[in-house]
Amino acid sequence: MGICEDRVCIVTGAGRGIGREHALMLAAEGAKVVVNDLGAAVDGSGGSEGPAHDVVAEIEASGGTAVVNGDDISTWEGSERLVRQAIDRFGRLDVVINNAGILRDRMLTNMTEAEWDAVIQVHLKGTFGPSRHAAAYWREQVKAGETVDGRIINTSSPSGIYGNVGQTNYGAAKAGIAAFTIIAAKELARYGVTVNAIAPAALTRMTENLGMGQADEMTKEMMAPRWIAPIVTWLASSESKDVTGRVFDVSGKALSVAEGWHRGPTEENPTDDLAALGDVVRRLVSEARPNANMLGFDEA
């Protein structure tokens, strides 16, 4: 018996990279997996169901159960069909793993409206849609007297929770996903649903152009996408029912709990004298903890 035996799991963007590893490990642990992927390029262009079919074939060859889904989860209708397929095919839905994403990196001064809109659409709306339709399903199950043990696992990024130059669109979407996770966890607890997120760093198609493609073999092994799957598989299981509203920083083999915004140094009665206010602000900034770098540590 695997840790996810008979749990019905949706994984978006599961044809390659991190999503593929999620799907394979979930299936190995007994889950029935809906493998969603458009088979698009890193920038979201083009498409083919080939990668999703390959993952399903690999799961089935190992004795697991999986089905292909080629819907566009960045649309309302596509995400609704995805959730409905899982329920119709396997009789219920237990887990939604929102992993699909694209990159259209550009410095802010050169970014186009289309580059902004496409990234926000895929990442942020592509997280909202499947989550919303699954949540509505789970709410109806509870209303009907059923016991729900549901999971939503979202994908943020170090670029979203720490920040990275050239990724205002991607980082904004990923920061939004982190906030979405915390709020949705509060809303869905009453239905027996936990909501968590990961902020992964791994060597995939999406990070090759960020310098990781030139890493040495030891680093490539340390940063292989397969190291991201264990925490996601555990969060998808019934064992994780007491963990919710958290963002996990998963950098290769390192696992951390990311600590979100907290109120720092405070001036209770700031002056309305603008000439003097600058001194107050500078003192507060000097007393505050520095922002984190891309590794999650204080910037030097």
Q: Work out the pLDDT band at 289, boundaries 50, 70, 90.
A: very high
Task: Kindly report the number of other CB atoms within 10 A of residue 91's CB atom.
Answer: 9
Question: What's the pLDDT score for residue 235?
Answer: 98
Average pLDDT over residues 61-85: 98
Helix (H), strand (E), coil (C) string for 236-285:
HCHHHCCCCCCEEEEECCEEEECCCCCCCCCCCCCCCCHHHHHHHHHHHH
- Between 285 and 50, residue with greater pLDDT: 285
Strands 247-251 and 254-257: antiparallel
Q: Kindly tell me if the per-residue pLDDT of 175 is higher than 70.
A: yes
Q: Global pTM?
A: 0.93
Question: What's the pLDDT score for residue 213?
Answer: 54
Give the mean pLDDT of the chain. Answer: 93
- Residues tagged active-site: 170
Are the CB atoms for 109 and 164 separated by under 8 Å?
no
Least confident window among 28-42, 75-89, 188-202: 28-42
Q: Classify the phi-psi angles of 130: left when phi > 0, otherwise alpha if psi is within -120 to 50, otherwise beta.
A: alpha
Phi then psi dihedrals of residue 32, to 5 deg: -100, 120
Domains of the chain: 8-257 (3.40.50.720), 262-300 (no CATH)
What is the distance between the alpha carbons of residues 168 and 133, in angstroms, rounded to a whole number? Answer: 28
Nearest alpha-carbon partner for 123 in 68, 43, 204, 56: 43
Q: Work out the pLDDT band at 245, boundaries 50, 70, 90.
A: very high
What is the distance between the alpha carbons of residues 77 and 79, in angstroms, rounded to a whole number? Answer: 6
Average pLDDT over residues 244-270: 94
Q: Kindly tell me if the per-residue pLDDT of 9 is higher than 60.
A: yes
Are the CB atoms for 197 and 156 separated by under 8 Å?
yes
Question: What's the pLDDT score for residue 224?
Answer: 86
Is the four-CA dihedral 286, 288, 294, 299 of positive or negative sign?
Answer: positive
Question: What's the pLDDT score for residue 203?
Answer: 76
Question: What's the pLDDT score for residue 205?
Answer: 60
What is the distance between the alpha carbons of residues 163 and 295, in angstroms, rounded to a whole number? Answer: 10
Q: Kindly tell me if the per-residue pLDDT of 123 is higher than 80.
A: yes
Burial of 196 (0-12, 13-18, 19+ CB in 10 A): buried
Q: Work out the pLDDT band at 88, boundaries 50, 70, 90.
A: very high
Q: Kindly tell me if the per-residue pLDDT of 197 is higher than 60.
A: yes
Least confident window among 64-68, 219-223, 225-229, 279-283: 219-223
- Between 87 and 251, residue with greater pLDDT: 87
Q: Kindly tell me if the per-residue pLDDT of 65 is higher than 90.
A: yes
What is the distance between the alpha carbons of residues 79 and 75, in angstroms, rounded to a whole number? Answer: 6
